[in-house]
Structure 1
């Protein structure tokens, strides 16, 4: 099996630990364990009471019933039994593609987006066509292009909503048009949904609440600021969940007793987590907007209060060379757009802590002055 190198992950694996001012990430500033434990109002006593009673065996293979119930409440029409715990959203995406895609299948993937969604199907022998997003249309794809791409044998349409790296959110009306086209040929629609618009969470609609053959993947890594526990999930109909169970047995056993307990605890206290993150996102988004307005070499389609953005830099230099020099000379980390096959742009994660964001942007501006 041949597969392309994972561009963004290879970049971060190489450089992220070298950064002083990391404004490359798409996570909302990760919580410390101490921060997480304050959510119960009793310094984590409720969590540790549960933990102290657990044997460190394999635990619940698919995720505990409590975890499944909490995840199911995030949707309108998902039975807890059809929620399967995975190793992050990357594990969820891999499971869905591994279980459903076969050699010769036709797959349509939003592009650029999270690289798993097109390169894993390619590695499995699928015929993958790109459904391009367009900067001049606020990074939306064109529904008429999807109409021209879809075939009678299209097996799956893969989306990333909100999009990584751009932060663009596909609204419900647009998703319904996608679903209408998928229904015509019986295609699955797989949507990586790890980013929630925190200015207006109600504006987000999950694919599983729109379409019986919709498959949602998600995790606690981005919106919930807990990437360290590596817990994600798939949400689907019963038939798909039953199929996933077979393939899941080959890819993982469980996420671990501790991780399941902490994931459930975070979801039980999600209102507090989202309140914390909403304040951080909206504050940092205002800082970011002001910076963009004052920086002549930067333009951007602003994200809808999700944690990733994709500004364009007006510089006469290869974007990867620029990002390496920026890191080495200023300690500031960005992800070059070439890692998403869009040179000239960078992924800028404005949802680091406020001090890191301000100093990172200040240093980035100073570095850009060399071209004036």
Structure 2
């Protein structure tokens, strides 16, 4: 495999320097939590090799009342590790992938490094960034191993309907290929929550993590869910060869948070609804911008109706250097830089408001 660094990582605020950014609207999660904010104090844990599949209690909490079993869940080092395991175990240079785009880079870059054939399902602003299921069905070839979608979608925040998800499940079953649903934002929604996709068929894989909806990316904990026991053994073998088991500390923290997920997520939902309304009011007032309103997650993907003063490169330079505000430009997602991702869950409300005002000013600034 030939690895290449992704623009979204090269240009991340961690690389640029948080101290240089006043209004950080580039993040894709809710506000980073601390042990204190979560009211947690780590006990005197024994630092053993943990259960290779992940702690039993943690896997039970993730399966919840979905109809899935704890043994359908494999704990991984973040969702990125789960996606890497799936791609490297299921795809070769002789295989074919159908994947939605724009997308988070890991869903695109690992298959590229493997060298498999790829058909992109390019989501369009004009269709509300909803996938064309007929196109996906027609794109499936005899050597297609995997159809990969993200729901809620990153970077647009759009959500498929239950009927669309059911149709995808049926099509991939009929075509004898796997369906991967990246559900990292599933726990933050502004309507009816979809079921865990893996509960809908033994050829369906669900991937998620504690990073986005719970605001704890620092514990590096995610998971892949599948009812297929053969696949689960393959994924476990990959995990064991990469890092044997997960962190005892990380898994303990995740257990405490998921044990209180109902109350934690209730507070998150209330806050994110307020922030989403703030963004909606801003977009409505700014005649240079348009968007598809998110139905889930904490990101959106506005589009400039016309080029800003001096062009897009000058706009981003101005926005960061003069207004100290950072967003995720379209090229992070292989899109035109007339699009940009706004993360409305991570900054404070004051920073979000100031950042949106800065964007509007930088679009028009000719100084």
**Structure-2-length-normalised TM-score:** 0.93
Return the alpha-carbon distance in structure 2 between the equivalents of residues 320 and 278 of structure 1: 35
Give 1:311 shift.
0.3
Aligned partner of 1:349 among 343, 347, 353? 343
1:327 correspondence with 2:320: yes
Aligned partner of 2:129 among 131, 136, 139? 139
Aligned to 2:302: 311
- Unpaired runs of 5+ residues, structure 2, are none
Residues 101-112 of structure 1 mapped to structure 2, 5 A cutoff: 101-112=91-102
Return the alpha-carbon distance in structure 2 between the equivalents of residues 64 and 256 of structure 1: 10
> 2:291–2:301: 8 Å Cα contact kept in structure 1?
yes
Return the alpha-carbon distance in structure 2 between the equivalents of residues 123 and 181 of structure 1: 27
Return the alpha-carbon distance in structure 1 between the equivalents of residues 214 and 106 of structure 2: 21
Give 1:205 shift.
2.6
Return the alpha-carbon distance in structure 2 between the equivalents of residues 320 and 78 of structure 1: 48
Residues 256-335 of structure 1 mapped to structure 2, 5 A cutoff: 256-313=247-304, 314-316=306-308, 317-335=310-328
- Unpaired runs of 5+ residues, structure 1, are 38-43
Aligned partner of 1:364 among 335, 359, 364? 359
Indicate the SS of the match to 1:203. coil
Root-mean-square deviation (Å): 1.8
Indicate the SS of the match to 1:181. helix
Return the alpha-carbon distance in structure 1 between the equivalents of residues 364 and 318 of structure 2: 14
> 1:319–1:345: 8 Å Cα contact kept in structure 2?
no
> 1:153–1:185: 8 Å Cα contact kept in structure 2?
no
Return the alpha-carbon distance in structure 2 between the equivalents of residues 16 and 272 of structure 1: 33
Return the alpha-carbon distance in structure 2 between the equivalents of residues 243 and 305 of structure 1: 31
Q: 1:16 to 1:159 in 2, by over 3 A?
A: farther
Aligned to 1:246: 237
Aligned to 1:8: 8
Count of matched residue pairs:
360
Return the alpha-carbon distance in structure 2 between the equivalents of residues 122 and 172 of structure 1: 30
> 1:155–1:188: 8 Å Cα contact kept in structure 2?
yes
> 1:207–1:215: 8 Å Cα contact kept in structure 2?
yes
> 2:315–2:362: 8 Å Cα contact kept in structure 1?
no
Residues 28-107 of structure 1 mapped to structure 2, 5 A cutoff: 28-37=30-39, 44=40, 48=42, 51-52=43-44, 54-73=45-64, 76-107=66-97
Indicate the SS of the match to 2:155. coil
**Structure-1-length-normalised TM-score:** 0.92
Q: Deviations over 1:152-196 (max 9, x none)?
A: 221100111111111111121101111222112210011111012
Going by fraction, where is helix more abundant, 1 or 2? 1
Residues 11-26 of structure 1 mapped to structure 2, 5 A cutoff: 11-12=11-12, 13-15=14-16, 17=18, 18-26=20-28
> 2:318–2:362: 8 Å Cα contact kept in structure 1?
no
Range moving further from structure 2, 356-365 or 54-63: 54-63
Give 1:200 shift.
4.3
Q: Deviations over 1:291-329 (max 9, x none)?
A: 111111111111114201000123344434422331111
